[in-house]
Structure 1
Amino acid sequence: MNSTRITLACALALGASFAHAQATGKLKIGLMLPATGTYASLGTAIENGFRLYVAEQGGKLAGRDVEFFKVDDESDPSKAVDNANKLVKRDNVDVLVGTVHSGVAMAMAKVAKENKTLLIVPNAGADAVTGPMCGPTIFRSSFSNWQPGYAMGEVMAKKGLKKVVTITWKYAAGDESVGGFKEAFEKGGGKVVKELALPFPNVEFQALLTEIAAARPDAVYTFFAGGGAVKFVRDYAAAGLKDKIPLYGAGFVTDGTLEAQGDAASGMFTTLHYADSLGTPRDNAFRLSYAKAYKLQPDVYAVQGYDAAQILAVGLNAVKGDVSKKAEFAAAVRKARIDSPRGPFTLSASHNPVQDIYLRQVGGKDNKYVSVASKALADPGRGCRMQ
């Protein structure tokens, strides 16, 4: 055999070996989630949900053992590119999973696109992730910020409310949630008379609560999450506004926060793609399994982590574990009907869930199901050019 043939044979052998490793070696999953700060509890719930699904599959996905690599993203966009690159370039992960903060998720999407790495977003609702930043390797298991806001705009307009003040943190998630709400509410005949915001993660609400009281709107729409949501709801009630000006919000304001909010949140209406009392066999089984594993009740963040793992499993099963087959992976996920605890959903052309958004009301320590606010609501995916 001459040297050319030997070289070619070696190259083919190496190629075959690499392809085999792609499909049979350990699957490296990079979890880039908040472990400290305002969103730490959300990151924990997402990771718990993801690990629960993997555990239910015997610790394997598409026949491959799973190895986790973790980075605390600190909900800090300025560190996000470096953190994502640590997982992609240092640890050579096959898939990125993260995160909560929309600004951090945007940076993760940039790194994923540049490196053609699979990214599954289990929370951050930044519209741009499945809008202008969309890509064939980027998927979301949660929501766009537009979706719960838009659904609540429809609900409040149908209730006949006319004048509303909005309040949120001044960052992508807050701006987009308010934007979705305003789009639907004003389409339904209402008017947003004042838009209030403060920098993330500032929780000094008193001056803005004074402005709300002075404006005397019919209601307030809000977007907060985590520790900030706890303080806002408690401060709103302490200011004497709870019984005078009804407070409505995207569901994150009361998800994972009710125990700390106590009576201050009682009776509040929110919209989200999950509720604590859906009562379906699928959800009941999930809630029981989660409670047994973690001695905790799951929330929407746990569901989103669980479904991120489900989406990954659908794609991997279609390509027999070979993550290099990204086009086939994406095609399988787009065709799939994900059997989620929230109810079945599909993914849109921009890879965002097409899902029911529920109206819920706080009762005790639960976000109780009231009705379907918007059936199979699809984010418009504005600006997405899938390439």
Structure 2
Amino acid sequence: MCARSSLIAVIAALACTLPAAAQEPVKIGALLSISGPFASPSKDMLDGMQLALDHRDNKMGGRAATLILRDDQAKPELAVEAANRLIRGDRVDFITGAGLSNIMMAVYRPITSTETFLIGTNSGPAPVAGKDCSPYFISASWQNDQPAEVMGEYLTKKGVDDVFILAPNYQAGKDLLAGFKRTFKGKISGEVYTPLSQTDFSAEISRVRAANPKAVFVFYPGAWGVQWVKQYSQAGLQKKIPLYSSFTLDEVSIQAIGDASLGMFATAHWVGDINNPTNAKFVKDFRAKYGRAPSAYAAQGYDSIQLIGAAADALKGDLSDKNKIKAALREAKYSSVRGPYSYNTNNFPIQDFYLTNVEKRGDELVLNTVSKAVEKAKDVYAAECPMK
């Protein structure tokens, strides 16, 4: 009996010498729009995150790791409430997600002002990349303007000199069309921003028909994109006025769009056929786990968890020092599905971008790499960021 009491006392004493954080899991809040028009991309991000945790055996820095999901329903006011619950109620170490730019703009200050680390898995609003940058934000995706800049440059080189451009009326839509106009050297024959609640684009398609441009460029992610491409095709314009996009086409949306997406060109920083071992394993295991091909959204979700995990590993699970976490995130060594990349001073990736198109392989529609469009692209807003 005495021996047993002594053993219990020793165990209790050892437990008391361990940091409290080491006895708790690394908590990661996933703030995603699981409901609403951005549900499909958000589900892909979540599935990518969960696969990354599977690959890490749900461990980071020698500690258990757990994902706490909060659905913001694509509504900024609900996103702020959900972020506050994650910070004050769940006491998370990191928050990831905030996939829509209006969600990111709503939660950015409430999260970073509490010195909680926010890992962006999709949206990269211009203010966040520029004058409002924060050491508590780091992107695992891209800055909003960049994919459209790539497309504007491509169409200019192709000799297209007259383009009609459209996007939803929110931060990302404005950023992407600004990016397109920055690099496209031809005429903009029309520029339209549609309400976030709109899914019937017949009036806008009539305006395109009347303008009769050489091409149309759109940024319509998620359900918006599915509806736009279907309606554009049904109007009979696709064969007359070629349609180009950034983040309207992904591996999930093209299945919903169907053959109307065949031959369409898009730009992205990740494609399923990028040739590296990490990406091959990611694509294979994602298909095995979920029964479908991963999209760039899934790849971003996967990388966000690997980024956090690499930082936690480097710190051996000790997340008590915010300055050390900042440095560990910036210097994190992990194998990204997109291949090697680095960080600019504003905590956005310096990375390659690709031109892609939709092809059919057997019965499946796939996004295929046409070419590497830009190497080691930097966003234009880093110069405005006061961080060094």
State the alpha-carbon separation in 2 of the partners of residues 151 and 280 from structure 1. Answer: 23
Shift of 1:19: 8.1
- Indicate if the aligned counterparts of 2:75 and 2:103 stay in contact, CA closer than 8 A: yes
- Deviation per CA, 1:296-320: give whole Å up to 9, x if none: 2111111000000111012212222
State the alpha-carbon separation in 1 of the partners of residues 264 and 346 from structure 2. Answer: 32
Secondary structure of the structure 2 residue equivalent to 1:135: coil
Which structure 2 residue ranges, 5 or more long, are not aligned?
A: 1-14
Shift of 1:321: 1.6
Task: Indicate yes or no: 2:370 matched with 1:374.
Answer: no
Task: Indicate yes or no: 2:246 matched with 1:261.
Answer: no
**CA gap 1:34/1:136 in 2 versus in 1, 3 angstroms:** same
Match of 2:42? 43
- Indicate if the aligned counterparts of 1:142 and 1:304 stay in contact, CA closer than 8 A: yes
Task: Indicate yes or no: 2:184 matched with 1:185.
Answer: yes
State the alpha-carbon separation in 2 of the partners of residues 366 and 201 from structure 1. Answer: 29
Task: Indicate yes or no: 2:219 matched with 1:223.
Answer: yes
In structure 1, what residue type is equivalent to 2:381?
Answer: G
- Indicate if the aligned counterparts of 1:145 and 1:173 stay in contact, CA closer than 8 A: yes
- Deviation per CA, 1:122-175: give whole Å up to 9, x if none: 112322222233211111111111110111111111001111110111111111
Match of 1:354? 350
Give the alignment's TM-score, normalised by structure 1.
Answer: 0.91
State the alpha-carbon separation in 1 of the partners of residues 79 and 36 from structure 2. Answer: 15
- Indicate if the aligned counterparts of 1:110 and 1:133 stay in contact, CA closer than 8 A: no
Match of 1:5? none
Match of 1:89? 88
Match of 2:318? 322
CA RMSD in angstroms, aligned pairs only? 1.8
State the alpha-carbon separation in 2 of the partners of residues 162 and 330 from structure 1. Answer: 45
In structure 2, what residue type is equivalent to 1:270?
Answer: A
In structure 2, what residue type is equivalent to 1:211?
Answer: R
State the alpha-carbon separation in 1 of the partners of residues 94 and 331 from structure 2. Answer: 20
Match of 1:270? 266
Shift of 1:354: 1.1
State the alpha-carbon separation in 2 of the partners of residues 100 and 332 from structure 1. Answer: 23
Secondary structure of the structure 1 residue equivalent to 2:122: coil
In structure 1, what residue type is equivalent to 2:144?
Answer: N
Secondary structure of the structure 1 residue equivalent to 2:386: coil
State the alpha-carbon separation in 2 of the partners of residues 267 and 361 from structure 1. Answer: 6
Match of 1:297? 293
Range with greater deviation from structure 2 (335-344 or 345-354): 335-344
- Indicate if the aligned counterparts of 2:168 and 2:193 stay in contact, CA closer than 8 A: yes
Task: Indicate yes or no: 2:71 matched with 1:72.
Answer: yes
In structure 1, what residue type is equivalent to 2:350?
Answer: V
Task: Indicate yes or no: 2:117 matched with 1:121.
Answer: no
Match of 1:8? none
- Indicate if the aligned counterparts of 1:50 and 1:305 stay in contact, CA closer than 8 A: yes
- Deviation per CA, 1:102-127: give whole Å up to 9, x if none: 11112221112210001111112322
Secondary structure of the structure 2 residue equivalent to 1:116: coil
Task: Indicate yes or no: 2:106 matched with 1:107.
Answer: yes
In structure 1, what residue type is equivalent to 2:49?
Answer: F
Shift of 1:78: 2.3
Task: Indicate yes or no: 2:382 matched with 1:386.
Answer: no
In structure 2, what residue type is equivalent to 1:386?
Answer: M
Range with greater deviation from structure 2 (339-348 or 80-89): 339-348
- Indicate if the aligned counterparts of 1:229 and 1:254 stay in contact, CA closer than 8 A: no
State the alpha-carbon separation in 2 of the partners of residues 320 and 264 from structure 1. Answer: 50
- Indicate if the aligned counterparts of 1:103 and 1:172 stay in contact, CA closer than 8 A: yes
State the alpha-carbon separation in 2 of the partners of residues 254 and 18 from structure 1. Answer: 50
Match of 1:165? 164
**CA gap 1:167/1:200 in 2 versus in 1, 3 angstroms:** same
Give the alignment's TM-score, normalised by structure 2.
Answer: 0.91
State the alpha-carbon separation in 2 of the partners of residues 32 and 150 from structure 1. Answer: 28
Match of 1:138? 137
Shift of 1:47: 1.2
State the alpha-carbon separation in 1 of the partners of residues 157 and 205 from structure 2. Answer: 26
- The counterpart of 1:363, out of the listed 359, 374, 386, is 359
- Indicate if the aligned counterparts of 1:27 and 1:65 stay in contact, CA closer than 8 A: yes
In structure 2, what residue type is equivalent to 1:262?
Answer: G
Shift of 1:338: 4.4
- The counterpart of 1:237, out of the listed 230, 233, 236, is 233
Secondary structure of the structure 2 residue equivalent to 1:112: helix
Secondary structure of the structure 1 residue equivalent to 2:380: coil
Match of 2:12? none
Secondary structure of the structure 2 residue equivalent to 1:366: strand
State the alpha-carbon separation in 1 of the partners of residues 342 and 333 from structure 2. Answer: 5
In structure 1, what residue type is equivalent to 2:240?
Answer: K
